[in-house]
Amino acid sequence: MRITEQQPGANKRFIDPASVSKRMDGRKITNTVFKTLFFMATLVALLVLGILFYRILSQGLGFLSLDFFQNFASRFPEKAGIKAALVGSLWLMAVVAPVSMFLGIGTAIYLEEYAKKNRVNDFIRMNISNLAGVPSVVFGLLGLTIFVRALALGNSILAAGFTMSLLILPVIIVAAQEAIRAVPQHVREASYGMGATKWQTIVRVVLPSAIPGILTGSILALSRAIGETAPLIVIGVPVIIQFLPSGVMDTFTALPMQIYDWAKRPQADFQQVASAGIIVLMAFLLLMNSIAVLIRNKFQKRY
C-alpha cells in the first residue's frame, strides 16, 4: 500500500476480486428472479387481451355481414346495422383531423421555435402536458357549454368535432413539440447561417424532418378521438339515426355511441351486435395505428 502511494500515477485498488466472485451467485439469482417476475407480468397482460379478443370475435363474427354495413340502427338485432355510425365517425374525423392538427402543430411550432424561454412560457408548456390528463367528460362539458350552447351549434358534427379536437389537442401538441425538438439544433444553425429567416428555416428544414413524428403522434391521437364516448354522451349525440348526415351542421352518431347503446340493451342478441361493432371499431383503430407505424418507419430521418 505504501509503495502504491509513493508511485505517482499508480491507482489504489478498491475492488477486491475475491469478494466480488463470492457475491456473484447471489447477484445471478436476483437477476433470474426479476426476469421471471417481469415475464409473468407480460403474460398476464397478454392473457387478458387474448380472452377479450376471443370473446369479441366469437360473439361478433356471426353478425358481421354486408348487411351489417348497409343497415341503419333497428329495434331488431338481426336488422341492426352500423352504417350511420361508421359514416358519422368518418365525418367526425373529417372535422377533427384538420382542426386539431392545424391548431396542435401551430401551437407546437410557436412554443418550440418562436416563444422565448421564460417563466410564463415554461408554465404554459408544463400545463399543456397536464391538460392531456384531464378526463374526457370534462372536455365534453366544455364542448356542451361553448359549442353546443354558447355558439348554438347544437349536437352537430361540428360541435362534436370541435370538442374532440380540444380533447386530443394537448396530445398532438406534445407529440409535435417532441418531434420538433428532435431536429438537431445544428441544422437550424446551418440554415440561419445562410441568411434564411425563421419561417424559411421552419418550412424547409425543421418541418420536413419533424413531419414523420408529427404525423405519427397525430394519427395516434386521432385514433383516441374515434374511440372516445364520454364527450359525445355529454354533448347529447343521438343513437337511433335513420339517415346519413349531408353536412357538418347535421346531427349524427358515431361508432362508440352505437356500440354503447347496443351493449346496454337487455336482449342477448344485441350483445353480439355490439361485439360486431367493436370488431369494426378495432379494425378502424388497427388500420390507423399501422399507418402511423408505416410513416414512422419509412420517413424517419437519420443524422
Name the segment binding another protein (CB under 8 A); options: 91-99, 144-152, 185-193, 241-249.
Answer: 185-193
User: How does DSSP assign 233-255, residue by residue?
Assistant: HHHT--S---S---STTSB---H
The reply on whether position 295 binds another protein by CB under 8 A is: no
Please pick, from the candidates 45, 194, 246, 247, the single residue that binds another protein as defined by CB under 8 A: 194
**Residue 133 or 195 with smaller CB distance to another protein:** 195
* Binding window for another protein (CB under 8 A); candidates: 39-47, 132-140, 148-156, 202-210: 202-210
78 versus 189: smaller Cβ distance to another protein: 189
204 binds another protein (CB under 8 A): yes
User: Within a 13 Å sphere around the CA of 180, how many CA atoms are in the beta-carbon half?
Assistant: 22
Q: In the complex, what is the shortest distance from the CB of residue 207 to another protein, in angstroms, rounded to a whole number?
A: 12
> Left if phi > 0, otherwise alpha if psi is -120 to 50, otherwise beta: which for 183?
beta
Is there binding between residue 207 and another protein (CB under 8 A)? no
Say whether residue 78 binds another protein (CB under 8 A). Answer: no
Please enumerate in sequence order all residues whose Cβ is within 8 A of that of 143, keeping only pairs 6 or more positions apart, or say none: 159, 160, 162, 163, 166, 231, 234, 235
Cell of 217: 403522434
125-to-15, 61, 107, 122, 220 alpha-carbon distances in Å: 46, 46, 10, 5, 21
- Reference 226, options 183, 280, 182; nearest CA is 280
Taking CB under 8 A as the binding criterion, the range among 38-46, 130-138, 205-213, 282-290 that sits at the site for another protein is: 205-213
Options 57, 103, 181, 191; binder of another protein; rule CB under 8 A: 191
SS3 content of the chain, % helix, strand, coil (to 5): 75, 0, 25
Q: Which of 57, 205, 239, 291 binds another protein (CB under 8 A)?
A: 205
119 sits near another protein (criterion: CB under 8 A): no
DSSP letters along 143-185, please? HIIIIIIIT--TTBHHHHHHHHHHHHHHHHHHHHHHHHHTS-H
Would you give the DSSP letter of residue 11?
P
Out of 187, 207, 230, 282, the residue judged to bind another protein by CB under 8 A: 187
Contact status: 240 vs another protein (CB under 8 A): no
Q: Which position among 9, 26, 133, 193 is part of the footprint of another protein (CB under 8 A)?
A: 193
The binding site for another protein (CB under 8 A) comprises: 116-117, 184, 186-187, 189-197, 200, 204-205, 208-209, 301-303
